[in-house]
Amino acid sequence: MKAMILIPTYNEATSVVELLHSLKDLRESKDYVFDVTVIDDNSPDKTAEIVDSLALDWVFVLRRAKKDGLGNAYRAGFAHVLKDSTYDQIVTMDADGSHRVLDLPAMFAAIAPGKSIVLGTRWIAGGSVVNWPKSRQLLSRSGTRYASLALGIKLADLTGGFRIYSRQLLESLNLTAMDATGYCFQIEMALAAHLADATATQVPITFVERINGVSKMSRAIVIEALIETTRWGVKRRLRPNADKLHYVK
């Protein structure tokens, strides 16, 4: 197995350097074979240049012209990695240290053959959240609950972004037909994986709030998630087959 770890960044210069150091340690253990692509939206804090200056031959930077939302960043990353058939698993991971390298081995171990998605999950036994304000926890938990009810998907963390997708799963999806710009990208990908009949495995993770930099979460992102999730839920009920055709090739 060879994995590509995709890390989207917007003004994450300090955090992403720390994360790359931890990944370097894991990589040097030789138990796991992976490279990294940082997907940067022209961060004013020079995240891309700083990553480049580390001169790590297993770290690539995909530079995008401007801040364009998490969904667009990830879809650009998927398109990029799918062109190189040496990578058979694609990991998605936040740059800010919230997703611990420590949890990666258990996630790698949970990969199922064929179309598969491994979901780092906070809201199951063994999972937890550290230093997140109660308000953020409530938002995340209620967001997942709402999405789970609206879409009929029985997973405990639909908004988390620490995941592993198999190449087979991503290749089976119409990624260009997806709409989500912001963080509801995570919900839309879980829905698409569900419609593609992928094997979904939940692995408990500990999510640690960032120390450096600031969150890019905004009211607009929450509103988009609410509107889109409701729209997807209604569409699923009214036209379930059309929905499947929309997402799955």
Ligand X SMILES: Nc1nc2c(ncn2[C@@H]2O[C@H](COP(=O)(O)OP(=O)(O)O)[C@@H](O)[C@H]2O)c(=O)[nH]1
DSSP annotation of 128 reads E
Q: Write out the binding residues for Mg ion, residues 95-114 only, by CB under 5 A.
A: 96, 98
Binding mask 200-229 for ligand X (x = CB under 6 A): ----------x----xxx------------
CA distance 181 to 195: 20
Q: Work out how close the CB of 221 gets to Mg ion at its nearest, in angstroms, rounded to a whole number.
A: 12
Nearer to ligand X, 131 or 230 (CB): 131
Is 95 an interacting residue with respect to ligand X (CB under 6 A)? yes
Q: Work out how close the CB of 235 gets to ligand X at its nearest, in angstroms, rounded to a whole number.
A: 25
Is 10 an interacting residue with respect to ligand X (CB under 6 A)? yes
Q: In the set 3, 4, 9, 173, which binds ligand X (CB under 6 A)?
A: 9
Q: In the set 48, 59, 70, 189, which binds ligand X (CB under 6 A)?
A: 70
Strand partners, 90: 4, 165
Binding mask 70-89 for Mg ion (x = CB under 5 A): --------------------
Is 8 an interacting residue with respect to ligand X (CB under 6 A)? yes
Q: Work out how close the CB of 216 gets to ligand X at its nearest, in angstroms, rounded to a whole number.
A: 4
The site partner of 236 among Mg ion, ligand X, none (C-beta below 5 to 8 Å per kind) is: none
DSSP assignment of 144-178 equals HHHHHHHHT---S-SS---EEEEHHHHHHB-GGG-
Q: Which residue has the tokens 């709402």?
A: 146
Contact region for Mg ion (CB under 5 A) — 39-47, 94-102, 109-117, 175-183?
Answer: 94-102
120: three-class secondary structure by DSSP? strand
Q: Which residue is nearest to ligand X (CB)?
A: 215
Q: In the set 24, 46, 63, 67, which binds ligand X (CB under 6 A)?
A: 67
Q: In the set 3, 5, 13, 39, which binds ligand X (CB under 6 A)?
A: 39
Give residues in contact with ligand X (CB under 6 A): 8-10, 12, 39-41, 67-70, 73, 94-96, 98, 210, 215-217
